[in-house]
């Protein structure tokens, strides 16, 4: 491959990469909302599980 062909191929690749990068930047806020919802739900589940476990331990000690 000649240097001009390499530049042309890399130029096309970089154009595709930048197009993909820009479209992903536009889509990121949608994903951020879902990631926040997932973290909130998982945090609530962890707190509920911790509360249930502490109640179970407490009632086992009481008996």
Looking at residue 14, its pLDDT comes to: 60
Tokens 């509360």 correspond to 51
Burial class (CB in 10 A: 0-12, 13-18, 19+), 57: exposed
Across residues 7-13, what is the average pLDDT?
A: 53
Looking at residue 52, its pLDDT comes to: 95
- Which run of H or E residues covers position 57? helix 3-62
Is residue 11 predicted with pLDDT exceeding 80?
no
The pLDDT tens digits for 14-60 are 666 667 776 777 777 777 788 888 999 999 999 999 999 999 999 88
How far is the C-alpha of 2 from the C-alpha of 5, rounded, in Å? 5
């Amino acid at each position: 491959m000649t240097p001009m062909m390499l530049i042309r191929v890399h130029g096309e690749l970089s154009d595709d990469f930048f197009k993909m990068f820009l479209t992903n930047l536009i889509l990121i806020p949608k994903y951020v909302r879902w990631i926040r919802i997932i973290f909130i739900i998982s945090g609530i589940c962890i707190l509920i599980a911790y509360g249930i476990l502490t109640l179970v331990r407490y009632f086992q000690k009481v008996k």
